[in-house]
Amino acid sequence: MENNKDYDRDEIFTKRVKAGKRTYFFDVKSTRSNDYYLTITESKRKIKDDNFFYEKHKIFLYKEDFAKFVEALQDAVDHVKNDLMADFDFSQFDVEPEATETNNENNKFGEDLKWE
């Protein structure tokens, strides 16, 4: 059986998005043949028997599907904003540029979990 000691070597970039009780992770990873793909993980903290655990759902997105995925996501968001909720002010959810820049500085998974 192959040794998995280099398991973490394939993670190239991580962007974390906190959204209420959920956190989304956008991870760029590489294959052994230096190809790249994206994983999108939804993580939700849950309680069971007085213990915390994280329920996770993951999507694997390959380079040949990037454009189709982004286009479909944008179409779905535009439909909600423009057709279903045209009177709603979505600007209250806009991210401030400073917040985005700060988040980019700490974009590696677990950076916020360091011991003081």
CATH label of the domain that carries residue 50: 3.10.450.700
pLDDT of residue 101: 40
pLDDT of residue 17: 94
Contact 101, 15 (CB under 8 A): no
Q: Residue 59 — pLDDT band, cuts 50, 70, 90?
A: very high
Mean pLDDT of the 31-44 span: 92
Structural domain count, the chain: 1
Residue 96's identity, in one-letter code, is: E
Answer yes or no: is 1 within a domain: no
Answer yes or no: is 64 within a domain: yes
C-alpha dihedral sign at 28, 32, 35, 39: negative
Domain of 58?
7-111
Answer yes or no: is 63 within a domain: yes
Answer yes or no: is 116 within a domain: no
Length of the chain: 116
Answer yes or no: is 53 within a domain: yes
Answer yes or no: is 2 within a domain: no
Beta-carbon count within 10 A of 53 CB? 11
> Which tokens go with 68?
């189709």
Q: What letter does residue 3 receive in the DSSP assignment? A: -
